[in-house]
């Protein structure tokens, strides 16, 4: 399964947002807003983690 098809199977996750956040963390770290990072950790990490676990389960079956 290609990445695009895999991501499309989990539309509850803002994949472009995830990739954009990764870009900021990896390349534009001087632009990091600590409050925004905290908000993401509190509100977005649990749903992302659940989706990734579901992806792994789907790929293994």
The residue that leads in pLDDT, 11 or 29, is 11
Cα of 36 vs its chain's centroid, Å = 15
Q: How far apart are CA 1 and CA 60, in angstroms?
A: 12
Are the C-beta atoms of 31 and 24 separated by less than 8 Å? yes
- For the whole model, what pTM was predicted? 0.77
Flag whether pLDDT at 14 surpasses 90: yes
**Residue 55 sits in which domain range?**
3-60
Q: How far apart are CA 46 and CA 43, in angstroms?
A: 7
The residue that leads in pLDDT, 49 or 4, is 49
Neighbours of 31 (CB within 10 A): 8
Give pLDDT tens digits for 15-26. Answer: 999 999 999 999
Q: What is the dihedral of CA 34, 40, 42, 45, to 10 degrees?
A: -130
Q: Please give the pLDDT value at position 1.
A: 64
Q: Please give the pLDDT value at position 61.
A: 86
Number of domains composing the chain:
1
Please give the mean pLDDT across all residues of the chain.
91
């Amino acid at each position: 399964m290609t990445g695009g098809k895999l991501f499309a199977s989990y539309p509850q996750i803002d994949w472009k947002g995830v990739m954009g956040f990764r870009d900021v963390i990896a390349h534009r770290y001087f632009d990091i807003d600590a409050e925004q990072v905290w908000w993401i950790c509190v509100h977005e990490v649990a749903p992302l983690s659940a989706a990734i676990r579901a992806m792994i389960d789907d790929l293994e079956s």
